[in-house]
Chains A and B, each alone.
Chain A
Amino acid sequence: MTEHLSRGCLAKRNSDREKQMKKVIESTDISKAFGSTKALNDIAFSVDESEIFGFIGPDGAGKTTLFRIIATLLLPDKGEMKVLGMDCIAGFKELRKNIGYMPGRFSLYQDLTVEENLNFYATVFGTTVKKNYDLISDIYSHIEPFKKRLAGKLSGGMKQKLALSCALIHKPKLLILDEPTTGVDAVSRSEFWAMLARLRQHDITIIVSTPYMDEAMRCDRVALIQNGSILTVAPPQKIRNGFSRKLFMIKASEKYKLIIALRKYPGTVTAYPFGDSVHVTFSDDSIDESLFRFLSKEGLSKVTAVETEAGIEDRFLELMKKGATV
């Protein structure tokens, strides 16, 4: 165990040295259309070694298409995609040995047991479970007690862990996870992210897509993606800091009435429902007594307002709005 740990640390140090020179993914102006629908428009980004890079965006934003291009499963119409220094089109055979891909629907054989699934993927990738056990043990140990169970009989969280184990079994340099947390309950989701964080020790670069804005904080860097275009790429905290105005969280007894009233208020720039409150920006970036007077005149009681830090979703909304008006 200690030996394994020290080896991990050594590898980490080595990788730090190389980090500057090595890009794991370099995407240059990738576009892809299906018939008349444009799935991706001029996607450009790069991913560094050993980073967890997230693609955050709603369904239909183009995340799956992009991931399939990275995984050599689709050809882009235009642009260049370099993965691990190889071209995705010309070098697809070599690349396929070095990437681990977990598609949106966990690609498991429902009629095979947990163990059989894992063994199958191990042989297909020319390795054995034994050889790479230390890599997957952190994840696989959760489901090992059920190894004789059919994969189809597992819960969502367990399927997700098994699929991740299968994608990792050949010790890939790049792990591509397409919406790994969709359809999985909150507890399993949070466990899953903790596992990904620990995988970094093993020198594995991870790209992951998700429609959940709140998961952005778990990534080193994220790209916000919408309608086939990248809105921004940055570390999550930086994205939050990019919010251009002061944001206020306002609550009142009747939410719907509050939204309507706030939209009527002359100083309001935006007002969106956000959980049990309304997130509001004002043209003068401050609130004064006149707002409270206005709201009480509109018949609202128990009004509270505090300044709050913008979340990823607030910034996403702002960027979407900008894209719509520009």
Chain B
Amino acid sequence: MNNSVITVRNLVKKFGSFVANDNLNFEVYAGEIFGFLGANGAGKTTTIRILSGLSAPTSGEVIVAGINASKKPEEIKKQIGYMSQKFSLYEDLTVKENIMLYGGIYGMSKSLIKERTENLLEKLNFRDYGNKLIADLPLGLRQKLAFSIAVFHEPKIVFLDEPTGGVDPITRRQFWEMIYETASRGITVFVTTHYMDEAEYCDRISIMSEAKIVALDTPENLKKLYNAATVEDVFIKIARPN
């Protein structure tokens, strides 16, 4: 198919005798929305940490944006963006200050930050909010801003952690449209979640259970394969096979 932007081969991660990732193999393609699912404690977090250069694999090969994760984990960090529902923006800073801060962290020049900030505020209809504190913004707006900031430095891959859990249906749709738009520009979107209805929006999903990847395909194919109406049913059938 397309060229892959994440390649994982025989990835094993152990903590002492505990195996958190047991021989994972998968590829994520450029411009794809990839859903990474699993129950709490299935080993998702461990994998994400390895993919984002925060932790080294015990064995196996992990290549992210052309960089080997065991050899140059620091390089990976420059190529990725990250957004989580829990933590993303500093509430006591204004919208512009937050953008400035993240742009600065990724080493962007002042003029580039300024130019892109203007574009961003324009695109989000955020003109009036530029000098407002994050704390004063409605939840939905914060969410959208957080995502825009995560891709502000045009990373190759953006990791999203449960991005739309708990937001209202309209914001949620607007958010997914932003994700689609981002993906159509060639940025890979890697979504971790245990909200199964979020998974329905992804191009392909993988389901992790007890340190292994037990299913990987498009939501449609998985639903056919397991004869299920929703991804949630697929998940339940995998986790409780009777």
Contact = CB atoms under 8 A, between A and B. Distances in A.
Chains A and B share a contact (CB less than 8 Å): yes
Interface of A: 57-61, 155-157, 182-187, 190, 211-214, 226, 254-257, 259, 272-276, 313, 316-317, 320-321
15 contacts: A57-B168, A59-B166, A60-B138, A186-B194, A186-B232, A187-B239, A187-B240, A212-B195, A213-B169, A226-B168, A256-B177, A257-B184, A275-B200, A276-B219, A317-B173
B217 to A, nearest CB: 12
Given A186-B235, A273-B180, 5 more contacts: A190-B232, A211-B167, A256-B180, A272-B173, A317-B170
Contact of B39 (A59, A61, A185, A317): A185
B222 to A, nearest CB: 11
A214 to B, nearest CB: 6
Contacts of A155: 40-41
B152 interface: no
B195 to A, nearest CB: 8
B61 interface: no
A254 to B, nearest CB: 8
A320 B230 CA distance: 25
Of A60, A254, A275, A316, chain B has the most CB atoms within 10 Å of the CB of A275
A269 B139 CA distance: 27
A60 B140 CA distance: 10
A275 B200 CA distance: 4
Given A257-B184, A316-B169, A320-B170, A59 B139 contact: yes
A156 B197 CA distance: 19
Nearest to A259: B177
B97 interface: no
A275 B198 CA distance: 7
A67 to B, nearest CB: 16
A256 B196 CA distance: 21
B220 A60 contact: no
Given A190-B236, A276-B201, A58 B168 contact: yes
Contacts of B232: 186, 190, 214
Contacts of A57: 168
A254 B194 CA distance: 25
Interface string B186-217: 00000000111100110000000000000000
B197 A61 contact: no
Contacts of A320: 168-170
Contacts of A58: 139, 166-169, 171
A184 B41 CA distance: 11
A40 to B, nearest CB: 16
A274 B177 CA distance: 10
Contacts of A157: 40
A36 B68 CA distance: 52
Interface string B101-145: 000000000000000000000000000000000000011000000
Nearest to A316: B169
Nearest to B184: A256
B29 interface: no
Contact of B236 (A59, A187, A272): A187
Contacts of B176: 273
Contacts of A61: 168
A183 B41 CA distance: 12
A194 B177 CA distance: 34
Given A59-B139, A213-B169, A226-B168, A186 B236 contact: yes
B226 to A, nearest CB: 13
A186 B167 contact: no
Of B165, B166, B200, B232, chain A has the most CB atoms within 10 Å of the CB of B166
B91 interface: no
A167 B183 CA distance: 45
B86 to A, nearest CB: 11
A251 to B, nearest CB: 9
